Chain A
């Protein structure tokens, strides 16, 4: 056989064989429907309602000639309305989704997962387990817990700025790191905490503010002149923030888990305390009552000077937990013309604030420990080094000792800077 013939026949064989062998996994981008957000909610008889938000391909910038179906700004985020199906498992739901979505549904661009309260209270692992095995599903997505109906969350989500759910999720993570009002957790952290000994999981909360939702509905009808409640007070509870306008959806508060079951929610302030104990507080602005002028507030920007030291004495019964925090703060705002730049006043303020923090934290930790035997604070996680071998760790029932644990919190606050003004402005 001549060389040329050999070569030609090889090329021929390749040309015949390659289209058959290759390209099994080849898929065109425009042939797929990318789910960016997935909601799971409880349905009767062990079934679930799965809500999916599918990203609609759109031009980054519409040229003068291009564009086409741009749509108004009022339209829900991402372009398409969420689709909800009922199924036994999430993966079955994905299949059923494809009965109404004309492109192949894929989870590879998933940005967040929203779990309904009713389902979370019964245990989430049952529904997450199949997903962790599924290759399209990755552990870097954000977990939200939704009090109430999940579908409602999707319907009422009208972001002010962002247009894509992916960016929205990322922005939320960023914002919450700075406000500390919600502890955003990636699924990996969430699952790891459930899976590992001596820890419990937390997740951030997405809640619909009914008042704002009502108000936006009214606005659409045309009635103006909505006003904020006369006797409303600043509220840090999920879904109850006193406000008008904005996204009816609120991202605030933290869900606390016991094993894989939701047990309670923390409000925004408690979330900050939680983060302080976990040592995850970034620079966060907080208001505290003015120790000199009652009913007035000072604003501090607090951060960790170093990570909190947690000492747990496991030998004693009840166990003794001692949390030593060292915080730094900048003085941001004082309402009254009290001059807090004086060293004695600063000390006074430091003392009052740290006292307040200490009380609040002690109360919070004791409540969660005693009432729910859950440890979202990563306190018991740090006792792992007190066990010599893995068997000891395994056989140790940490929930039993949480019941009557004695907690002391020691907060050292140091106000380092006083902003860009030395003494306050006074009116004459």
Chain B
């Protein structure tokens, strides 16, 4: 059976990736497709065949029908490849694991006995807290017992996490008012105490009541203080978050000369605040959700409600919610969970540390995703062009913006192709070099014992080595080592006759070009692809490079980032603002990216400078126009 299914699999073509990809087009335009799909029974049958096939391959399921149902229900949400979770020896049906992993926290024996709701009895509550947080083993959780007011002794205790909550706030805004300044009237009902405390005694800016342990637990874990009062079935949660963190610092990787210098930091709310302070509109929405089953991480999805395509927000949330992972560390990890197929080296979303860039993107209709303590925010979807843009392009006047973009684009080509072109020319097409230069290269190469390919590879590898070492070496000696590595090594290698001097120039230019890539991930992609091109050039010269470029282009053309083709608006062609390769004047940036299908396609009015007398719609022109109209009317 398994053999034949494997054979059958060879003849089954997995078209589902291409058929089911997500598109931002609204349903009206997609109607044709839908009707096609609807009428086509065969393709539906094929799909279910495929899923069946898949499941049998992974492990024999006890109930195929159920698997299929389960499969079809979670098909859209499935992001984890079930295969990876399975160790081949156990052969557990993957859906079982799926369910188990979802239930894992509740299965835990300590939590299983935790009651759902709070009890009236303070002591019971105290025990439950101790049980939940594994006291006294866990030293981070502090329980502070105290008594409210002197007239009526009302026992209470506060629970907070050491290190995650602000001691100042707890002392002066929770404990002090409750213990010293408070007085509960004796004739008050026990049930109303909680209310009174909340209304009169706790001056904290956010105080909430919860009666479920689940909520209380989450809030304590995120740094709030929970106040339990004797006789109350609810706990008061006072917002006392405040852990040690870096302040808003300077940009580290996306520095600009002209433009703001602040960068995101390791604090989610500070990050969202940085963006919100730039886009001050009530339409800017921040949706919070949590990812992670062992320990949840906050994920914030931010967008401008009146602009963004609602389908895009839905899709982003759908993908984030579907992530089933125990712990999510960083936006770099979230990125890998939600990026579109097919696999490739090019990043499908833009990670930036610049709040201004996020703000600009949000205003264009993009969605930003903030992850927990990550100082990098994801902007999605993204197109390839924006991976080589910087924030500064827009802040400079447009001729200079265009100039640096041209330089950067040439740098992109150089970083990708220069070493391979060198190999192709010297090894396959030496006629292209002017004769004198060719003779000089040949003379320099006469002492070199390696073929050009090896020479290039050696240099490229040592360069990557210097680069990697430069990052790892402690800051104090970093620059020195860089100089030692780059200069001395290069010089010595040339003098020793291991490499030819011209190659040092080629490799150095390539390295410089690679450093101009503004996006870290994209730079990585380019650097890795460079080696591929070196290989191709070594085998087929220009012909190989050409084929490589064409494959890469096709790859780019089929890449999608959240339903947006990554080469758009060039291919597929969409009307767009002059902001692709060159930077047009800012008053011509009228359209939002058409491939996002935003609710409002126009970014600004056609005439942004009505004061300018040379503009057709200027104030003067309008005045003159209205006067002439008036005059005409008067004449009549």
Contact = CB atoms under 8 A, between A and B. Distances in A.
Given A22-B539, A57-B443, A59-B443, A164 B427 contact: no
Given A29-B430, A29-B442, A57-B443, A167 B540 contact: no
Given A26-B428, A30-B445, A60-B440, A166 B539 contact: no
B150 interface: no
Given A26-B428, A28-B445, A28-B451, A57 B439 contact: yes
Interface in A160-177: 164, 166-167
B440 A59 contact: yes
Contacts of B445: 28-30
A109 B538 CA distance: 22
Nearest to A32: B430
A57 B446 contact: yes
Contact of B435 (A22, A23, A32, A34): A34
Nearest to A23: B539
Interface string A39-73: 00000000000000001111110000000000000
B87 to A, nearest CB: 12
A25 interface: yes
Q: Is the interface of A mostly helix, strand, loop or mixed?
A: loop
Contacts of A13: none
Given A55-B435, A108-B431, A111-B435, A25 B541 contact: yes
A22 B430 contact: no
B243 to A, nearest CB: 41
A10 B570 CA distance: 35
A36 B440 CA distance: 15
Contacts of B535: 18
B142 interface: no
B527 to A, nearest CB: 19
Interface in B108-163: none
A60 B436 contact: yes
Nearest to A27: B427
A171 to B, nearest CB: 13
B538 A22 contact: yes
Q: Is the interface of B mostly helix, strand, loop or mixed?
A: helix
B275 to A, nearest CB: 39
A338 B535 CA distance: 75
Contacts of B441: 29
A158 B437 CA distance: 22
A15 to B, nearest CB: 11
Interface in B430-458: 430-431, 434-446, 448, 451-453
Contact of A164 (B436, B446, B448): B436
B558 interface: no
A99 interface: no
Nearest to B535: A18
Interface in B402-419: none
A385 interface: no
B440 to A, nearest CB: 4
A355 to B, nearest CB: 46
A21 interface: yes
B211 to A, nearest CB: 49
Contact of B439 (A21, A108, A111, A164): A164
A108 B539 CA distance: 20
Contacts of A36: 435
Contact of A26 (B427, B438, B443): B427
Contacts of A34: 430, 435, 438-439
B426 interface: yes
Contacts of B442: 29-30, 32, 57
A58 B435 CA distance: 11
Given A57-B439, A109-B431, A166-B435, A30 B540 contact: no
A32 B438 CA distance: 11
A58 B451 contact: no
Contact of A108 (B430, B451, B453): B430
Contacts of B437: 60
Contacts of A167: 435-436
A55 B453 CA distance: 24
A106 B433 CA distance: 14
Given A27-B427, A34-B438, A108-B431, A58 B443 contact: yes
Given A27-B427, A28-B427, A28-B451, A22 B540 contact: yes
Nearest to B539: A22
- The residue in B426, B437, B440, B442 that gathers the most chain A C-beta atoms within 10 A of its C-beta is B442
Contacts of B438: 29, 34, 109
Nearest to A26: B427
Given A30-B446, A32-B430, A166 B436 contact: yes
Given A32-B430, A59-B444, A109-B431, A26 B538 contact: yes
Contacts of B440: 57-60
Nearest to A18: B539
A225 B392 CA distance: 74
Nearest to B495: A65
Contacts of B451: 26, 28
A111 B431 CA distance: 11
A167 B438 CA distance: 13
Contacts of A21: 539
Interface string A1-31: 0000000000000000010011101111110
A18 B534 CA distance: 13
A167 to B, nearest CB: 7
- The residue in A18, A108, A167 that gathers the most chain B C-beta atoms within 10 A of its C-beta is A108
Contacts of A106: 430
Contacts of A59: 440, 443-444
Nearest to B432: A108
Interface string B1-16: 0000000000000000
A282 to B, nearest CB: 24
Contacts of A25: 428, 541
Nearest to A59: B443
A28 B425 CA distance: 10
- The residue in B426, B431, B434, B453 that gathers the most chain A C-beta atoms within 10 A of its C-beta is B431
Interface in B449-495: 451-453
Nearest to B441: A29
Contacts of B430: 27, 29, 32, 34, 106, 108-109
Interface in A270-289: none
Contacts of B544: 22
A290 to B, nearest CB: 46
A103 to B, nearest CB: 10
A21 B540 CA distance: 10
Given A34-B439, A109-B435, 17 more contacts: A22-B538, A26-B541, A27-B428, A29-B452, A30-B445, A34-B438, A56-B439, A57-B446, A58-B440, A59-B444, A60-B437, A138-B431, A164-B435, A164-B436, A164-B439, A166-B436, A167-B436
28 contacts: A18-B535, A18-B539, A22-B538, A22-B539, A22-B540, A26-B427, A26-B428, A26-B538, A26-B541, A27-B428, A28-B427, A29-B427, A29-B430, A29-B452, A30-B448, A55-B439, A56-B439, A57-B439, A57-B442, A57-B446, A58-B443, A60-B436, A60-B440, A108-B430, A109-B435, A138-B431, A167-B435, A167-B436
Across the A-B interface, give the 4 residue pairs with the lowest CB-CB distance, nearest first: A22-B539, A57-B443, A57-B442, A108-B431
Interface of A: 18, 21-23, 25-30, 32, 34, 36, 55-60, 106, 108-109, 111, 138, 164, 166-167
